Amino acid sequence: MTAAEMLERLVGFPTVSRDTNLDLIAFVEAFLDEHGVPHWRVESDDGRKANLLARIGPDLAGGVVLSGHTDVVPVDGQPWSSDPFTLVDKGDGRLYGRGTCDMKGFIACALAEVPRWVALDLEKPIWLALSYDEEVGCIGAPRMIERLMADHPLPAAVIVGEPTLMHPVVAHKGATNLRTTVTGRASHSSQVNQGVSAIHVAAKLVTYIEEVMAELRAEGRVDEAFNVVHSSLHVGKIQGGTAINIMARECTFEWEIRHLPSDRFEELVGRVNARAAELEAEMRDRAPEASIVTEALNETVPALADDNNAEVLALCHALLGERPAGAVAYATEAGQFQRRGLPTVICGPGSIGQAHQPDEYIDIEQLEAGARFMVALGERLRRA
């Protein structure tokens, strides 16, 4: 089976994060069984989703992990010109379908090479690590990494196959999603001295969240390796109030912090919490029941730092040729592997510019480059 044929099968499974991925996992398990490859499921608490670990080659330390997430983002409301879950070749050098670049293309390249890897006398193992729920906060990977570390010999390197146009990436920002709820006191809008508008207070806090980025730049907290050189804070959703003539009792907004590897999430959210405490005290002077509460919506996805990666980076250069290493603003599971002490880089086919878009596609040339990478990896790890 070629990488394109495998990609066609994978795209056909609508593994949107809100839905199960078990049909895809069962397909991969059956494929691995055909080739005598041992594998292990690592399920979610409710059993609706699963990670999958597989080992090709000897049960020894020092192998290479190829990691990819099986979930994709929704297609709701997007103007697709074809069925998102049917791989389409329009004859323009591209393969269209949800997940083609993010990131079933990488997984397809790896799975298509499994029969040839099995036939090689590998000196070190190649691991496949397929996760669930990356798109909604990198939720599935930690328990998969825990199982890998606890039950199997320690790998030497991890390559996370997010779309990077087959250039190694050595750093990315961390990410945390948050929800802040401001509770004031409702009153008639003509009696502004009687109430406390949660919307007005929330607006002050939202404005401050943006001001934090200016503070960071002024303090020199920047990293020129990133296209957005500072940690970023962004409010994406806000809702509050019941009528135009009622001072709003409640306003809720959802926001995120994407922090540089050199910054700490706790310090950045602490700045916002300190301003929230000041605003809350002002509110309580007029309404003792008022409050501002912020909660994290996900466990912080750790940043990937350009650190302890010389060997895995050298491996990528050996397989791809010398290519400049970069940094990306989006978060991945790579930081989770690195946090457990595993040298990790990101490298995969396709462009992140196509991810999450209607008519998502991967260039056929990129898929072929990913396939060549897998061939070269097998040759690199086989016995001399």
Active-site amino acid positions:
71, 134
With contact defined as beta carbons under 8 Å apart, do 301 and 175 qualify? Answer: yes
211 Cβ neighbours under 8 A, 6+ residues apart = none
* CB atoms inside a 10 Å sphere around CB 175: 23
Cα–Cα distance measured from residue 238 to residue 234, given in angstroms and rounded to the nearest whole number: 12
Cα–Cα distance measured from residue 234 to residue 146, given in angstroms and rounded to the nearest whole number: 31
* CB atoms inside a 10 Å sphere around CB 329: 15
Closest-CA residue to 262 (of 294, 298, 297, 226) = 226
Alpha-carbon 374 to chain mean position: 22
Cα–Cα distance measured from residue 189 to residue 248, given in angstroms and rounded to the nearest whole number: 9
Cα–Cα distance measured from residue 12 to residue 23, given in angstroms and rounded to the nearest whole number: 10
With contact defined as beta carbons under 8 Å apart, do 3 and 108 qualify? Answer: yes
Cα–Cα distance measured from residue 290 to residue 224, given in angstroms and rounded to the nearest whole number: 42
Cα–Cα distance measured from residue 212 to residue 272, given in angstroms and rounded to the nearest whole number: 8
Helices (H), 54-197: 105-119, 141-151
With contact defined as beta carbons under 8 Å apart, do 125 and 58 qualify? Answer: yes
